[in-house]
Structure 1
């Protein structure tokens, strides 16, 4: 008898279950986004642009500064996977060739960062010329673009590289000061505050690309 009551109770509870049914109205967009296909015209245009970009990367006649800025821009836009071989070849040439003395902090730090990012064993001694007795020159504090480049490069330091430890401390202190003083919310100020919050090396490439485009 108890077994019968239990079965009846279970059956009753199952019959009482009412599952809500929602009828959503059709989307105003129809199947526009699910059936969207890149046309042959746009696909061809993209390929043509890739060919032009590839030619620009490997072109002769560019200065060291122009090459480094171009490679950095392509990478920070998240497009470097299209030109991995070309970029690696160009950086290998830069690493092997003896370049003239570079006295620009921005370019020196940019070259150092790009080479280390791509596995080249470049020495941190390239920053010696910006120091006095192991301390970075105070005159550099006004070079915000250079300090930002130095700050990003310092995140690729090896254990025991005291000059890059000092570089990170020096650049961070002056960038923080600049970020606080930038009341106009300039583009450089936004770059500085974002870098201090999230350095390039610790960021997610796709998200960093969006920030780079926004700047």
Structure 2
């Protein structure tokens, strides 16, 4: 039991946009008796399957084991004098998903490392150490200069070609380059230099590191979902002597204990989804509860963030339904009414909508208002104005309407026109605003003002979501030919898309 761990969705690959034509009847009197539609493959994670999930990693026995191992790791953190070893320990803890258990100890260690930055001879001529030091400190909010890498530059602005023989150092530099800020040209050059040589030398790299190189080239560490990263890293380092066995044992136990919490949360969401009945009433739309929940784990992976996961699962599930209404089911006239309902946020307007829109809007209306009630009761703050105002539900509906009109009229926007609208239709701002209020925190006036004024945070986060979504789905949508992201697919190629994605991450 001590050496096992599980991930219930591990071997299941999500398949989206696999469709077939069919005709669906809607409730009598609500629309024409039939309309052309597409049918998505049914979910493989139905309520019965989710309810069958079991875990042996709950209760006092597991908590006691974890506490004992935590104490041993705390001793390691306090008694590790070497700066490089300390940084490696911190990095391992965070990649194994254990960082949140040792926040104070990690903070104290980094204060000592940063305060001694003048005595940095241990990093001199060591590319691996320099890059690890830079990345870990910057990820924790410290001001670290790109000038730390000047010593590794040959003929400016190019890095020394001899560095390519140091695969471990090159990989460390590649990961460090992905926490670059806008205008840091040394790190931009480092990214291109390391990518080129890591790709070229993959066949000659020892097996113990080639797995990490391949994964980093596909998805850099800074871009990864924490929960999936910890699962992957446990497998990657098991059997190697690079990670302390106590850390590995604690990581497996903690992974499974958190997994038990996630399974409990998912069961709650499955019951909610079954009770509101939209999967049955709106049979044309995607039933993707488990996928929505998994996405929520990517945003809020800590065990104490159950409410945030549950709220985001609800929001993202509604986003998928609304997306299908706009993309494939409704007429433009119906969508005008639907978008107007979002703008007004008034259930008294329901009689103007067809039945399938009525039931969708009312379920969403009640769900969001229930969230607002909880926040008002706990914090004395009315979050409905922030949910309805600029960059949230109102603009999400309006941007979806724009895309629907493009598609139904055959209009092809320019790439810039598409992106100017696409960051709003990505639903990124909808998700972020709800996450802000769902997370357990004190909501201050300053925080609310920052939420209103910090448009760049919402914009760039939403743009990343837009680009990732189009990179993953545009080929299928191009084949189907009924959504505007297929237009984006024709405007650019995947290499250009990935480059734009990288540039967006730098802001």
Q: Same fold (TM over 0.5)?
A: yes
* TM bucket normalised to smaller: 0.7 to 0.9
The equivalent of 2:171 in structure 1 is: 148
Q: CA deviation at 1:38?
A: 3.7
Q: CA deviation at 1:214?
A: 1.6
Report Cα offsets for 1:157-207 as digits up to 9, x if no partner.
11111110110010000011122x24x881311211110001001110111
The equivalent of 2:85 in structure 1 is: 66
CA distance in 1, matches of 2:206, 2:168: 16
The equivalent of 1:210 in structure 2 is: 231
Q: CA deviation at 1:108?
A: 0.5
The equivalent of 2:19 in structure 1 is: none
The equivalent of 1:127 in structure 2 is: 149
The equivalent of 1:75 in structure 2 is: 94
| Equivalent residue for 2:74, pick from 54, 70, 82 | 54
Q: TM-score scaled by structure 2?
A: 0.34
Report Cα offsets for 1:108-155 as digits up to 9, x if no partner.
100100000000011111101111222111110011110000000000
CA distance in 2, matches of 1:41, 1:208: 26
Residue aligned with 1:135, SS = coil
The equivalent of 1:186 in structure 2 is: 207
| Equivalent residue for 2:128, pick from 84, 106, 119 | 106
Could you tell which deviates more after superposition, 109-118 or 133-142?
A: 133-142
Task: Count the aligned residue pairs.
Answer: 182
The equivalent of 1:177 in structure 2 is: 200
CA distance in 2, matches of 1:106, 1:63: 15
CA distance in 1, matches of 2:84, 2:93: 14
Larger relative contact order (C-alpha < 8 A, sep ≥ 6)?
A: 1
Q: CA deviation at 1:32?
A: 9.9
- Is the 1:178–1:189 Cα contact (8 Å) retained in structure 2? no
- Compute the RMSD of aligned alpha carbons: 2.1
**Which contiguous aligned blocks of 4+ residues in structure 1 show a shift greater than 4 angstroms?**
none
Does the alignment pair 1:137 with 2:157? no
Could you tell which deviates more after superposition, 96-105 or 47-56?
A: 96-105
Q: CA deviation at 1:37?
A: 6.6
What pairs up with 1:13-92 in 2 under 5 angstroms?
33=54, 36=56, 38-59=58-79, 62-92=81-111
